[in-house]
A and B are shown apart, each in its own frame.
Chain A
Amino acid sequence: MSTTPGTGRAIEERVRAALTARAELVRPEDLRPLAPVVDLRSRWQSPWVLLASAAVVLLVLGVVLQRTGGRERSDDVAPRPDTPRVELPADVGRDWKAADQSTPARLDLDGDGTPERVEFLAEPTKDFDGRIRLQTILSTTGDDAYGIAELGTTIGTTALQPIDADSDGDEELVLWYDDVTAVGGGGYPLVFDLREGLLVRALVEDPELLVRGDVPVPGAGTEHYDMVRIHHYWVEEGRLLSSRSVNAYAAGNMTLLRPETIVVDTWEWTLGQDGVLTPSDAGCLRLGLEAQAPCGANEVDEVPYVSPVATGTIGIGEEAEFTEGYRFTVGLEAFADPSVVVEGSDGRVLTYGLEVGDPRVSTVQPMSVFHDGASLLVTSAADPTYLQVLVQDGDELRALRPVGEVDLENDGDVRTWLTQNGALVTVVAGEGDTWQAWQWMWVSRAEMAALPTGTVCFDDVDDPSTARSC
């Protein structure tokens, strides 16, 4: 990863030294006393929350309509059984203190052109997981207005940019709930609108479309992976938008196998008089890791990562050195039967006997399979169908057994190769000229399984660099 020799190397060394120095300022004695990690109680189990929830239920006053006539018949105002109902916030927490590391929001809640300052007061709980009282004084009337939010934590409450989802000229407050348990992030936004002098949380018509994170597709997973769709939401020029990937991707072993650029469907959320956020189709986006653009015609995901192919190997009597991660050298010896011999930089020597003629070891590690120690792909010049993945297990090398939906083969309709970035790829012939691409991962101490990465076509399957979208 060096940049250029000379100045590049110098800056790298300087960064390394500065990071080490900064990190080492944190000494063991600086840390808070060691406390046992205990399972956090769900916030729904908190007696405060249960009491508050009960209070909210008692205070449900029906649909809050932004009608100004004031002469509606009671049966017009009363909620119908199957219509969504917004809940008025309970007037609790007047004495709560400003939430830790929080910053008041400034937005024009009442539409008079003067922004209100919304304070966030935290319900005191041991685990900082209580509710937040949203509190402000309306610039138009000088009256207090308040709301209640549950964000999972009372620390660091801030708002996203305000929106005007009902296009009425005033602004709605957007907070968000973070799901800290979700690897890769998860959560959803909460929109608060000023209604009847209260900050009322909007309901969401299709809540599954207004989330962020990797959401499993029901019934599509296997023992070794889930199939997930990638969801996002964001605020853009006063509008609340969300997206969902058109395709689902395999997620397992803490890895999400997605192309860098994916195609997503998007929705814009509008707030109705009934207090419900409703999605409307906002088109298709091509979403990269750092950029997005409207879809072109027939836009599809980027081709799964299947090339360039790693072609370098060593044979009997040769050695190769690996310097990324666990540092080691590997050699193929043949005193009697051929053996792989790994010599680690920590002094360990690991040997594994091979039962194949003219073995070869790739000079690239199959790091998609295993990267917490030595890993090797063994092939044979005498038998092109032979494939074996060896991984370090303490002081020994172990051959991983392929399990799952795909066989580890390299013949005919099943082709397998290693890419230069260490992905062990298998493609299986499908309908027409399509191939289903898979990537191998370590799934247990002695097993590896292939996870699907997408459909790909080749101009020439013998040359994986000719991969293209189908």
Chain B
Amino acid sequence: MEPSVDITELYAAHRLVLVRLAVLLVDDVASAEDVVQDAFAALARRPDAVKDPSKALAYLRVSVVNGARSALRRRRTARAYAPPHDLSPPSPEDSAVLAEEHREVIAALRALAPRQREVLVLRYWSDLSESEIARTLDIGPGTVKSTASRALVALEKAMQSTSGKEER
């Protein structure tokens, strides 16, 4: 049976945007590429999971968000067992070239709960609607709204806390 979607074409068309999405969720490019590679590999194993090519990006996006969450979960669990000197968060080398005001936001974003971070990234970077975010994360639209609202408050607090520490 012919695959319903052309994986190679999808890979060429969407890989960059998905790696960018993943890097916002897992911080470093290598992990982001792995997450995206896994998403495509999963689709390659089940090409009939997406019958309509127009839905492939949404499917891959779900897969990337799940993969990123899984990667973070592994990393978080790892931290629980790591000695104190290993506790520093992953710090992408290239964050050094981010402007200061962006760096502060990205650092605060890492402090959020995974779902809060996912909602903010999907809303403000992927430009998804509440309904689309709800579908992507498999949560209710009301939860999307409340999570986003709480996430922004938490983000501001985290930034204030960081700048407070720096001032001291």
Contacts and interface: CB of A to CB of B under 8 A. Distances in A.
Interface of A: 1, 3, 7-8, 11-12, 14-26, 28, 30-32, 34, 36-40, 101-106, 155-161, 178, 180-181, 183-185, 253-256, 258, 260, 289-290, 305, 324-325, 367-368, 371-372, 421-422, 444-445
A15 B46 contact: no
Given A17-B102, A21-B102, A38-B44, A156 B74 contact: yes
A1 B122 CA distance: 12
Contacts of B19: 26, 31
A37 B41 contact: yes
A61 to B, nearest CB: 32
Given A15-B124, A185-B70, A254 B141 contact: no
B130 A181 contact: no
A12 B125 CA distance: 11
Interface of B: 7-8, 11-12, 15-16, 19-21, 23-24, 29, 32-34, 37-38, 40-46, 49, 51-52, 54-55, 58-59, 62-63, 66-67, 69-71, 74-75, 77-82, 86, 94-95, 97-99, 101-106, 109, 115, 120-121, 123-125, 128-132, 134-135, 138-145, 148-149, 152-153, 155-156
A289 B135 CA distance: 14
Q: Is the interface of A mostly helix, strand, loop or mixed?
A: loop
A112 to B, nearest CB: 19
B59 to A, nearest CB: 6
Contact of B49 (A34, A155, A183, A289): A183
Nearest to A22: B106
Q: Is the interface of B mostly helix, strand, loop or mixed?
A: helix
A181 B138 contact: no
Nearest to B67: A180
Contact of B58 (A40, A101, A159, A254): A254
Contact of A422 (B29, B131, B149): B131
A300 B79 CA distance: 38
12 contacts: A1-B123, A15-B105, A18-B103, A34-B11, A36-B8, A103-B79, A180-B38, A185-B69, A324-B131, A371-B131, A371-B135, A372-B55
A40 B39 CA distance: 12
